[in-house]
Chains A and B, each alone.
Chain A
């Protein structure tokens, strides 16, 4: 599969995750979000950027529980809970936000 961004074709797997992490850009993220019916707000970007930083540091996409805890630590308890994260990403913060962040599917997600 592939998505088209600014006339360029970017390869994804059959579930829509980027094949090459290096292909990611904010435009690519917006395009994936559109396909997921997610309207990217400041709050969405906060989570997506957090995920990219986490991946950069640890080389994995975090499990939902770990993401929730880490977000709470960094952005405060009103954001570090699954209700908040699921409101932003209804199909699951780990799966959907990771996809928009250009990361692979979190380990342990099937």
Chain B
């Protein structure tokens, strides 16, 4: 188990109240390990019955692009896993509009249903959280 997962367990176990956890994704998917590890932490944390949401901004929006084919670069294509989140009861996926626009990406190019929000709305959502975990 990762350190982050242990932190979550401790946070969640300390009291029975449901806390708002937001996982903030700001990195492109395959150049570093952040995106994959961040996704794994989300899947693990889904077991703790907390109020989980995911935020995608800056290069993090690239994680959700359809049509990723990683075979030739020899890394796991974890992009289909975002579609499994619904089955884990993780249904709040927020994507920042300004980040999409700055990269020439439209909502139709994303591989999962999301809520597109402005930077101001994203900032507001962040303020509402009890715990923010960044990757």
Contacts and interface: CB of A to CB of B under 8 A. Distances in A.
A69 interface: yes
Place the interface of chain A in its size category: 10 to 19
A63 B46 contact: yes
B80 to A, nearest CB: 5
Given A62-B87, A63-B47, A66-B87, A110 B80 contact: no
Nearest to B49: A65
A110 B47 contact: no
A60 B44 contact: no
Interface string B38-61: 001001101100000000000000
Given A63-B88, A107-B40, A110-B1, A58 B46 contact: no
A14 interface: no
A78 interface: no
B37 to A, nearest CB: 11
Interface in A75-106: none
Interface residues of B, number: 16
Interface in A43-66: 57-60, 62-63, 65-66
A62 B44 contact: no
Given A63-B46, A63-B47, A108-B47, A58 B40 contact: no
A83 B78 CA distance: 31
Nearest to A73: B87
B88 A59 contact: no
Contacts of A107: 40, 43-44
13 contacts: A57-B84, A58-B81, A59-B76, A60-B81, A63-B46, A63-B88, A66-B84, A66-B87, A69-B87, A70-B87, A108-B1, A108-B44, A110-B1
Interface of A: 57-60, 62-63, 65-66, 69-70, 107-108, 110
Interface of B: 1, 5, 40, 43-44, 46-47, 76-78, 80-81, 83-84, 87-88
